[in-house]
A and B are shown apart, each in its own frame.
Chain A
Amino acid sequence: MSNVIEKSHAELAAAFNKDEPRVDWHDETLWWVRAKRDIAAHKLPEWELLRETASQIKNNVLSNLSEYLELFEANAIKNGVVVHWAADAAEHNRIIHQLLQERGINRMVKSKSMLTEECHLNEYLKDQGVDVIDSDLGERIVQLAGEPPSHIVLPCIHKKKEEIGDIFHEHLGSAKGESDPKILTETARQHLREVFLTRRAALTGVNFAVAETGEFVICTNEGNADMGAHLAEIHIASMGIEKIIPARKHLGVFLRLLTRSATGQPITTYSSHFKKPQQGREVHIVIVDNGRSLQLGREDFRNSLKCIRCGACMNTCPVYRKSGGHSYHTAIAGPIGSILAPNLDMKKYADLPFASTLCGSCSNVCPVKIDIHDQLYKWRQVIVKEGYSPTAKTIAMQAMAFTLSSPALYRSGGKIARLTFKYAPFAVNNQLNPWYKHREMPKAPQESFGEWYSKRKEGKN
């Protein structure tokens, strides 16, 4: 995994863009989801007040997070839940492996958890000899394909049904050439039912953790989190420290926003509130930091911790829709992923804040009003200042700064550029210059504004 040479967003996007009809299809599918979000949002006259309220609740959470975490822990323990703390991904993975090992369990069923993607839990457990099966249909598909999810809500949005049919034929024994979503879903239902009934351990994510009561809420449409958790002896729930909300009544704000923003549904089919373990069973919560407390300390970027993982910013993003989730080479793709990832590794993810047009659509649809595009812009400045920007960009910026600092250089530079465009366009319009990909430059004018202005002045005199 780590020995693979990392490609930049631009390179990965270029690979995705080779198949133009597929890019169009990907673009249109996500825009359709975005349009459904608009319809759902516009049905509520109080929508903007809801967003503002959610944002303010999260503000309160982030300003009192340590107190809320302690309160949540105390209440969860009172409820009979075991609470673990993990400073980073490695510790999170070790804790889960140990829980399984102590019980002699080597097979686990897992519902959707982006945190475990962030921690690369599946790969870690595989190396320890533990078999993990993802139970969300989309996640199961990409797992069988040997790929990470490309979208946090729609994990296999990049896959065509024919490709899924091939994967199911190979792994689950569906008929060759079968690509009817109904039949493929039924195939997965039968396969996963067997898994639910035979796994002693279930891992789930957490959508919201309520400090006041110590309960946590999981939202799914498929019912896979519940099937896994209710049938297993041990239910392990992994959550980032930012999943806390103060009180139960605040769920009434967030559950109204989450799915309307994500898919345009008024609510997910299941919003499950786990408070106490079932008789004779165990519930464990692993609370994970993994860089979040650091992000909390970055004043310009702490708002990113308000994210409730609805994916609306991805569906609306013109760059995401046309470059695909995998081009972001991180667990959480799209605009929100691009402001979260540099906090974890500024060098590795230096390209992501540049994978945006800064159009601001992400900020406009965000249900908790994160200033995503402003943060993308701010990350660019931090990354350049810290010396992590891509070499070509750094050289170009330095040349630009040098030229702009001298009026004489600026004037002669402009003249040379105009002559080049006119007489030697091949010198700039070639494969070495990414600006010319899918782009034609405008015709260069005969003279600059400066030249025209001074001529005009002379003529007047």
Chain B
Amino acid sequence: MSREKILAAVKANQFDHAELPDLEILNSLTASEGALVQQYMAIASAGGSFVYEVANFEAIKTILHKEFKPGVKIISGIKELDDYTFAGNVTDELAHSFADVELTILRSYLGVAENGALWLTETQMNVRVLPFISQHLAVVISKDNLVSTMSQAYAKIGHTDYGYGAFIAGPSKTADIEQSLVIGAHGPRSLSVFILT
């Protein structure tokens, strides 16, 4: 069987034990209590996201009502934003049925200032394909959920169990044609991030 053959070949050829490096120094170098909101906003905007600092859910509603006309299909995974189809109620539907969703609004509890990435697991997505298949995506995060770098992010994720999780750092994009950046490859054409302060 190939499994045994491969493992035996690897075992025979792997060299003497090399220790894992200590990550503590790196982590301590990058931990920052500084202006995470400002850093996040600058970097996420540079990556093509629209970032809003908002005081409450009412403010988010106002912005969304202005940006998205009534009549389009919008799914919300956030209880407070209840003008729309609640994501928790559509989890049994076939993934393909979300092909015509214009906007999906989801919650994130972990954002990374150094790269603008937002961590969402299947629990917040409700359906895995939702944040990808929607024409537009909006994510709500509290300012207290921002960390400085990926080191701190994985420290927070720790040993959490999930079926699927993703860091999402902007709208879907490509630069495959002559290196010119085009927003809206296969996934959302825009990402709006609402930071609750």
Contact = CB atoms under 8 A, between A and B. Distances in A.
> Does A associate with B in a complex?
yes
A135 B159 CA distance: 32
Interface in B136-164: 149-151, 153-155, 157, 159, 161-164
B149 A267 contact: no
Interface of A: 29, 32-33, 45-46, 49-50, 52-53, 56-57, 59-60, 62-66, 69-70, 85-87, 91, 135-138, 141, 154-157, 159-161, 164, 181-182, 184-186, 188-189, 192-193, 196-197, 221-224, 226-227, 230-231, 241, 246, 248-253, 255-256, 263, 265-278, 287, 289, 293-294, 296-297, 299, 302
Contacts of B9: 289, 293-294, 297
Contacts of B162: 273, 275
Interface string B110-131: 0010111100000000001100
Contacts of A86: 2
B172 A223 contact: yes
Contacts of A249: 23, 151, 154-155
B138 to A, nearest CB: 16
Contacts of A33: 179
A86 to B, nearest CB: 6
Contacts of A65: 10, 14
A235 to B, nearest CB: 11
A271 B117 contact: yes
A70 B129 contact: no
A339 to B, nearest CB: 17
Interface residues of B, number: 72
Q: Please indicate which of the listed interface residues A155, A256, A263 has the most CB atoms of chain B within 10 Å of its own CB.
A: A256
Contact of A62 (B14, B166, B169): B14
Given A137-B174, A155-B176, A252 B14 contact: no
Nearest to A295: B13
Contact of A46 (B5, B30, B157): B30
Contacts of B129: 226-227, 230-231
A270 B166 contact: yes
Nearest to A46: B29
Interface string B10-48: 111111111111010110011000000000000100010
B62 to A, nearest CB: 27
B43 A186 contact: no
A389 to B, nearest CB: 26
Contacts of B99: 193, 197
A353 B16 CA distance: 28
A86 B47 CA distance: 39
Interface stretch (B51-59, B71-79, B81-89, B184-192): B184-192
Contacts of A273: 162, 164-166
A160 to B, nearest CB: 7
Q: Please indicate which of the listed interface residues B150, B151, B177 has the most CB atoms of chain A within 10 Å of its own CB.
A: B177
Contacts of A299: 15
Q: Please indicate which of the listed interface residues A33, A182, A221, A296 has the most CB atoms of chain B within 10 Å of its own CB.
A: A221
B68 interface: no
B10 A69 contact: yes
Question: Which 7 residue pairs of A and B lie closest in terms of their CB atoms, listed nearest first?
Answer: A223-B187, A297-B13, A266-B115, A138-B176, A222-B185, A293-B9, A230-B129
Contacts of A60: 18-21
B20 A221 contact: no
B41 to A, nearest CB: 14
A306 B153 CA distance: 24
A370 to B, nearest CB: 15
Nearest to B25: A49
Contacts of A250: 23
A45 B29 contact: yes
B114 A221 contact: no
A124 to B, nearest CB: 17
Contact of B176 (A50, A137, A227, A289): A137
A223 B26 contact: no
26 contacts: A29-B178, A29-B179, A49-B29, A53-B21, A60-B18, A138-B174, A141-B176, A189-B184, A189-B186, A226-B166, A230-B129, A231-B133, A248-B154, A248-B159, A252-B149, A252-B153, A252-B154, A256-B149, A266-B169, A269-B168, A270-B166, A271-B166, A271-B169, A273-B165, A275-B161, A293-B10
Given A32-B179, A221-B174, A275-B163, A85 B2 contact: yes
A156 B174 CA distance: 12
Contacts of A269: 47, 168-173, 187
Given A32-B179, A275-B164, A297-B13, 17 more contacts: A45-B29, A46-B30, A63-B16, A85-B3, A87-B2, A141-B176, A156-B177, A185-B184, A223-B187, A227-B187, A252-B23, A256-B150, A267-B169, A273-B162, A276-B163, A296-B10, A302-B15
